[in-house]
Amino acid sequence: MNIDKQQIDDLNLKLTLTFAPEDYEAQEKKKLSEYKRNAELKGFRKGMAPLSLIKHIYGDRALGDALDSMINEELGKFIKENNLRLIGEPLPSEDQPKIELKDGETFTFMYDLAKYPEVNVAVGSDDNLTSYKIKVTDEAKKEMKENMLRQLSKMGETEVAQAGDYLVVDLENEEKKVTGAYVTVDEVAGEAKEKVIGAKAGDKFDINVNDAFPEASNRAAVLKTTQPELEKISDPLFHVTVVNVRRMFPGEENQESYDTLFGKDKVHNSEEFDKAVEAQLEANYKQESDFQLNKDIREYLVKKADIKLPEDFLKRWLLYANEGKFTKDDIEKEFDGFLKDFRWQLVRDSLMQKYGLKIEDADLQGAAEGYVRYQYAMYGMSEVPEDMMKVAVQQLLADENQARNMRESVANAKVFDAVKKDIKTSEKTVSVEDFRKLSENK
């Protein structure tokens, strides 16, 4: 058996494996014996068929199995002996000539291999990036207060309908009568819109439901029927009687609202409400600023590392590893994004090793808890009971994809924290508007 190595470039190499008959003869006999031992052929007890018959029936398959086994063994030995750190695994070469399995012949197999590039990123005080401090304004505080109180909105009756309100109405014609239907003012179209705006309890008017509710789903909901049943209604003109007008009223600024928004007895008056909102804004802005700085660090380090990759091999490997899931066109479309993420992973892994960083179970637990708290906070739940938290974290980390995401997040955070201690950052104070524009343009 002979292995010939051809170094294509720094990262790509081709291996040519040549097997003469004497190289694979013993392995072929071993495979034939395995087939003989398990063969159940008519006229013979299991495992008792003559080897000549077994070779006649299974010879090509046994030869293929023997060669596959030897190829895997020889490739593995070569990779280990040469201490190769490979991307993916060896792929049959595109230059591989067609092979016809015929016992007694010499066979040549060609494989393409790609090595991971060397990554060595120096980080120090010569590396200077800008961090941003976003100003908290009275206008921003006012907007956040209004949004917070709007989260506590409750439905109540009002006198005159306006945009954003709801009407409770009765509708009737000779074919159908509907009582207590909900009509969303903003979803009414055409001439009917002019009739519902300004409407009061007790008002009566006629509408064409086809014009007023062009969307069949909305029309069916108002008439309390199904979309297929709408076709049975031949007369779209209905007489409407307004029962009452309802509106979502923002929560009032009181102790109940303070407790709901911030937790019991954390805020007691308008002054403390203002300070709590300012603190929340500062925390939100810092989170945005930190995210942007981390993004800038990532892009800066990837650019500085200037990592060359075996791109042609990677495209083939992605297609092979995801056979049936993606086409060549799919991979081509997403390839630039893949390269960007892959280069960052290489830089991050290099820095993890340089700084001696490790991911512990406690890190994953903490990241999962932070993610769960964030999810609940989005639904206005600032305090998460311990039992709910425990169950949610267990479910999160039991999911393979979610757990992998947590591990990636922890690794990123550890590297960013370590890098920030070594580089210089220049703080710049900006308005939230300027910061958002800056983020969009990066």
Is the pLDDT score of 44 beyond 90?
A: no
Is the pLDDT score of 182 beyond 70?
A: yes
Instruction: Report, as an integer, the average pLDDT of 220-249.
Output: 94
pLDDT, one tens digit per residue, over 320-363 is 999 889 999 999 999 999 999 999 999 999 999 999 999 999 99
The residues pairing with 167 across neighbouring beta strands, listed in sequence order, are: 183, 245
Q: What is the CATH number of the domain that holds 186?
A: 3.10.50
Residues 244 and 279 in one domain: no
- C-beta of residue 68 within 8 angstroms of C-beta of residue 55: no
Spatial distance between the Cα atoms of 18 and 62, rounded to a whole number of angstroms = 18
Whether 345 is covered by a domain: the verdict is: yes
Q: What is the CATH number of the domain that holds 404?
A: 1.10.3120
Q: Which of 228, 212, 179, 174 is nearest to 220 (CA)?
A: 228
Whether 121 is covered by a domain: the verdict is: no
Whether 390 is covered by a domain: the verdict is: yes
Q: Which of 414, 412, 428, 440 is nearest to 302 (CA)?
A: 412
**Structure tokens of 291?**
């995210």
In 3-state terms the chain splits into helix, strand, coil percentages (rounded to 5) of 55, 20, 30
pLDDT, one tens digit per residue, over 212-230 is 999 999 999 999 999 999 9
Backbone angles phi, psi at 197, to 5 degrees: -70, 120
Spatial distance between the Cα atoms of 314 and 308, rounded to a whole number of angstroms = 12
Residues 282 and 416 in one domain: yes
Q: Which of 10, 3, 58, 49 is nearest to 30 (CA)?
A: 58
pLDDT for 74: 95
Q: At 232, which helix (H) or strand (E)?
A: none
Residue with tokens 């008002």: 203
pLDDT band at 386 (very low <50, low <70, confident <90, very high): confident
Residues 273 and 389 in one domain: yes
Is the pLDDT score of 378 beyond 80?
A: no
Residues 307 and 430 in one domain: yes
Sign, CA dihedral 13-82-66-91, equals negative
- C-beta of residue 248 within 8 angstroms of C-beta of residue 161: no
pLDDT, one tens digit per residue, over 396-418 is 999 999 999 999 999 999 999 99
Long-range contact set of residues 280-284: C-beta below 8 Å, sequence gap at least 24? 280/144, 281/136, 281/140, 281/141, 281/144, 282/136
Residue 12 vs residue 378, higher pLDDT: 12
Spatial distance between the Cα atoms of 369 and 382, rounded to a whole number of angstroms = 13
- C-beta of residue 44 within 8 angstroms of C-beta of residue 134: no
Backbone angles phi, psi at 152, to 5 degrees: -95, 15
pLDDT for 176: 94
Residues 93 and 224 in one domain: no
Is the pLDDT score of 382 beyond 70?
A: no
Spatial distance between the Cα atoms of 341 and 331, rounded to a whole number of angstroms = 14
Whether 261 is covered by a domain: the verdict is: no
pLDDT band at 119 (very low <50, low <70, confident <90, very high): very high
Spatial distance between the Cα atoms of 219 and 188, rounded to a whole number of angstroms = 10
Residues 286 and 218 in one domain: no
pLDDT for 263: 86
Whether 380 is covered by a domain: the verdict is: yes
CA atoms within 13 A on the CB side of 320: 15
> Which of 218, 249, 280 marks a domain boundary?
249
Q: Which of 277, 246, 309, 269 is nearest to 118 (CA)?
A: 309
Tell me which DSSP letter residue 115 carries: B
- C-beta of residue 208 within 8 angstroms of C-beta of residue 236: yes
Residues 103 and 182 in one domain: no
State the DSSP string of 42-80. Answer: TTS-TT-S-HHHHHHHHHHHHHHHHHHHHHHHHHHHHHH
Residue with tokens 């700085």: 293
Residues 183 and 212 in one domain: yes
Q: What is the CATH number of the domain that holds 90?
A: 3.30.70.1050
Helix (H, G, I), strand (E, B) or coil at 247: strand
End-to-end Cα, the chain, rounded Å: 55
Whether 429 is covered by a domain: the verdict is: yes
Q: How many folded domains does the chain comprise?
A: 3
Residues 404 and 285 in one domain: yes
Q: What is the CA radius of gyration of the chain?
A: 35
Whether 260 is covered by a domain: the verdict is: no
**Structure tokens of 426?**
């220049």
Residues 238 and 357 in one domain: no
Question: Of all residues in the chain, what percent carry a pLDDT higher than 70?
Answer: 100
Is the pLDDT score of 48 beyond 90?
A: no
Spatial distance between the Cα atoms of 235 and 257, rounded to a whole number of angstroms = 48
Whether 258 is covered by a domain: the verdict is: no
CA 27 to chain centre: 47
Length of the chain: 442
Residues 326 and 403 in one domain: yes
Q: Indicate left, alpha or beta for 263 from its phi (over 0: left) and psi (-120 to 50: alpha).
A: left
Is the pLDDT score of 271 beyond 70?
A: yes
| Boundaries of domain holding 317 | 128-143+266-441
Residues 161 and 238 in one domain: yes
Q: Tell me the pLDDT of the chain averaged across its residues.
A: 93
